[in-house]
Amino acid sequence: MIQLQNLVKDYGSLRAVDKINFTINKGEILGFLGPNGAGKSTTLKMITCFLTPTEGNIEIDNFNVLEHSKEIRKMIGYLPEHNPLYLEMTVYDYLKFVAEIREIKKGDFKRILTTTIKKCGLNEVISRSIKTLSKGFRQRVGIAQAIIHDPKILILDEPTSGLDPNQILEIRDLIRELGREKTLIISSHILQEVEAVCGRIVIINKGKIVGSGSTDELRMSNQRKAKLNLELIAPENEIDEMRAAFPMIKIAINEVENDNVRLEITYPQETDYRKDIYQYIKKRDWSLLEMQRHVSSSEDVFRNLTAGGKNE
pLDDT tens, per residue, the chain with 312 residues: 899 999 999 999 999 999 999 999 999 999 999 988 899 999 999 999 999 999 999 999 989 999 999 999 999 999 998 898 999 999 999 999 999 999 999 999 999 999 999 999 999 999 999 999 999 999 999 999 999 999 999 999 999 888 888 888 988 999 999 999 899 999 988 888 888 899 899 999 999 999 888 877 776 666 567 789 999 999 999 999 999 999 989 999 999 988 899 999 988 777 889 999 999 999 999 999 999 987 666 677 777 777 754 444
**pLDDT (0 to 100) of residue 301:** 72
CB 65 within 8 A of CB 46: yes
**pLDDT (0 to 100) of residue 271:** 82
Phi, then psi, of 130 in degrees rounded to 5 = -60, -30
* Nearest alpha-carbon partner for 94 in 130, 122, 124, 119: 130
**pLDDT (0 to 100) of residue 259:** 83
What are the angstrom distances between the C-alpha of 287 and each of 139, 227, 282, 284? Answer: 57, 20, 8, 9
Q: What is the C-alpha separation between 42 and 147, in angstroms, rounded?
A: 21
SS (H, E, C) 1-38: CEEEEEEEEEECCEEEEEEEEEEECCCCEEEEECCCCC
Q: For each of the domains in the chain, give its residue range(s) and CATH number, in order of start.
A: 2-221 (3.40.50.300), 224-294 (3.30.70.1150)
